[in-house]
Amino acid sequence: MKKDKNTNFFHFKGLTLEIHPEVYNPAEDTFLLIEALDVVKGKSVLEIGTGCGIISLDCARIGANVVCTDINPFAVDLTKRNYSRNKHLVKGDFDVRKGDLFKPIKNKEVFDIIIFNPPYLPTEKKDIVGGSGWFDVATNGGATGIKITTRFIDELTDYLKQNGKSYFIFSSLSDSDKLESLIKKKKFQFNVVSCRSFDFETISVYCLTKK
């Protein structure tokens, strides 16, 4: 990732992306997820929680047909601007929608690949940053760290095609037993496709397959 002289922009694999103070800045988790994805031309992709749109734009650049969503209106507007800015590089369809998890997805709309870099940090009341609240929305995974991930996995199967895959980030600070028992309850096959360790935390990319 190369930063522009104008610090509101950066470059990633030929894409020029604007960032915004109310929207999550791409970080190690974003790049770990991008590197782990197996997306090819023509596949249908849904990204929940797109932030500045970097993951979705990278998929559409490859030729996937992308729907992306975010609950944060600043993220939705920013992703629309980033799409306009990079339209000439995008080969697939690109549709940005605002809303909570799968709410913006139409009845019977199903995807080959569903991606989510969720808010995954275990967060107690004392950890809440406050302000406009959008930073907390991007990072706060509730006391267990998997509050939003649990809601995501609960609904996932309705939006995935048979043999479809879902990729999401998980932190070692959260409860992996709880996560994996939910995955098994929902009858997904799963494996951890990549991970990266820091001083106090390892972040992993889980890949779930609908069989």
Q: Which residues bind ligand SAM (CB under 6 A)?
A: 24, 26, 30, 48-51, 54-55, 69-72, 75, 100-101, 117, 119, 137-138, 148
Helix axes 28-36, 54-62, angle to 10 degrees: 20
Cβ nearer to ligand SAM, comparing 60 with 75: 75
Cβ nearer to ligand SAM, comparing 33 with 208: 33
Cβ nearer to ligand SAM, comparing 158 with 187: 158
Residue with tokens 């913006």: 104
Find the shortest distance in angstroms from Cβ 104 to ligand SAM: 9
Sign, CA dihedral 154-48-30-165, equals positive
Cβ nearer to ligand SAM, comparing 203 with 208: 203
Find the shortest distance in angstroms from Cβ 211 to ligand SAM: 26
- Per the CB < 8 A criterion, the answer to whether 27 and 6 are in contact is no
Burial of residue 168 (CB within 10 Å: 0-12, 13-18, 19+) is buried
Find the shortest distance in angstroms from Cβ 167 to ligand SAM: 11
Helix/strand/coil percent split, the chain, to 5: 30, 30, 35
Find the shortest distance in angstroms from Cβ 55 to ligand SAM: 5
For residue 143, the one-letter residue type is: A
**Nearest alpha-carbon partner for 110 in 45, 53, 167:** 45
Cβ nearer to ligand SAM, comparing 120 with 188: 120
Q: What are phi and psi of 196, to 5 degrees?
A: -145, 135
Find the shortest distance in angstroms from Cβ 48 to ligand SAM: 5
